[in-house]
Structure 1
């Protein structure tokens, strides 16, 4: 038993030259696919979660950020002191430079350059350590969020949950539900 659409396509292709048969077949297939699409789309439940918002606004993310900042505060303060010291030494050098001998001026310039290199190296190390620690903390939050998303999907019958889309309708955004499941 052929469907009515298949019979109509067969009749059209017999009446049309060979060159246009492929075109007619493509149009018929496209029409049948478009006719079936709304039925499928209506039965699909889609949700959206903003990972950025979860990692910025959720209670676990804020707690992790505070914890990391507390861990790195002492090193950050040391870097600030080094930068302040370097600035004051550079200002003193600029003020003293006209009266310094050539050898003394070169010696102090070298010392300032060494201090600056040391400061830059320590800043890079600090930033790398900070980022590594932050990634460790946030990866556990992402794992918990993924588990919460899966649980919400199962409980509420979602077929698809998308993270980080370009544009999203607020009616499919379930980020608040995920944040609530994470504890706020």
Structure 2
């Protein structure tokens, strides 16, 4: 999930709040934060992860069922192909090819479904965080707020994350460090075996 969230917050690498710029006689004030970090501190984050896990498991189970059907029919074909009538054998081979194509198509659809599910869950929270960041910037006189992922150096008092967390109702003292991203696999099952065996006619 963490890797996926990163892709959804990429637009926040530079958050401009120039509309809150101070007068010409006042210096520019820069702040920085990390949208992913803020999101992970919010109560909604655990609910998002739970819902994505449930959705992913459902997709995986359905895909495994499809593969199990394919494997069962492939084994039956290989066992009886030598004694099958040519017409029946060709029909079985066509069925196996269709099942294999169906598995591959489902894998693509499952990935798209998981991404859409995640987007629908994360987007409202990102919007909420965006508003909080802009509110904090306006209330504290920040001209610009940038992502700390793009920051090479800066003062500690430029980090507005604690202010944003308070604005969102989260206690900064209870905030957890951003975990190392773990590679998350999309819903998938063992790919269907190549049908070259099944389509090789036996005489």
TM-score for both structures, normalised by structure 2 = 0.55
Which of structures 1 and 2 has the larger relative contact order (alpha carbons within 8 angstroms, sep 6+)?
2
**Count of aligned pairs between the two proteins:** 144
Matched, 1:112 2:96: yes
**Higher gyration radius (CA):** 1
Cα offset, 1:145, TM superposition: 0.3
Please list every run of 5 or more consecutive structure 1 residues that lacks an aligned counterpart in the other structure: 1-39
What RMSD, in angstroms, separates the aligned Cα atoms of the two structures?
Answer: 3.3
Q: Answer 1 or 2: which has greater helix percent.
A: 1
Can you list the C-alpha shifts for 1:7-32, whole angstroms capped at 9, x where unaligned?
A: xxxxxxxxxxxxxxxxxxxxxxxxxx
Q: Distance in 2 between matches of 1:98 and 1:179?
A: 69
Q: Which of these residues, 160, 165, 168, is aligned with residue 174 of structure 1?
A: 160
Q: Distance in 2 between matches of 1:92 and 1:177?
A: 64
Q: Distance in 1 between matches of 2:163 and 2:78?
A: 59
Q: Which of these residues, 118, 127, 131, is aligned with residue 134 of structure 1?
A: 118
Q: Distance in 2 between matches of 1:86 and 1:45?
A: 62
Q: Distance in 1 between matches of 2:68 and 2:39?
A: 33
Cα offset, 1:144, TM superposition: 0.6
Q: Aligned ranges for residues 81-96 of structure 1 at < 5 Å?
A: 81-94=65-78
Matched, 1:43 2:17: no
Q: 1:150 to 1:167 in 2, by over 3 A?
A: closer
Can you list the C-alpha shifts for 1:30-67, whole angstroms capped at 9, x where unaligned?
A: xxxxxxxxxx9x93321223234445564323322312
Could you tell me which residue of structure 1 aligns to residue 58 of structure 2?
74
Q: Which of these residues, 33, 38, 43, is aligned with residue 59 of structure 1?
A: 43
Can you list the C-alpha shifts for 1:95-139, whole angstroms capped at 9, x where unaligned?
A: 555565544443222111111222222333333232222212111
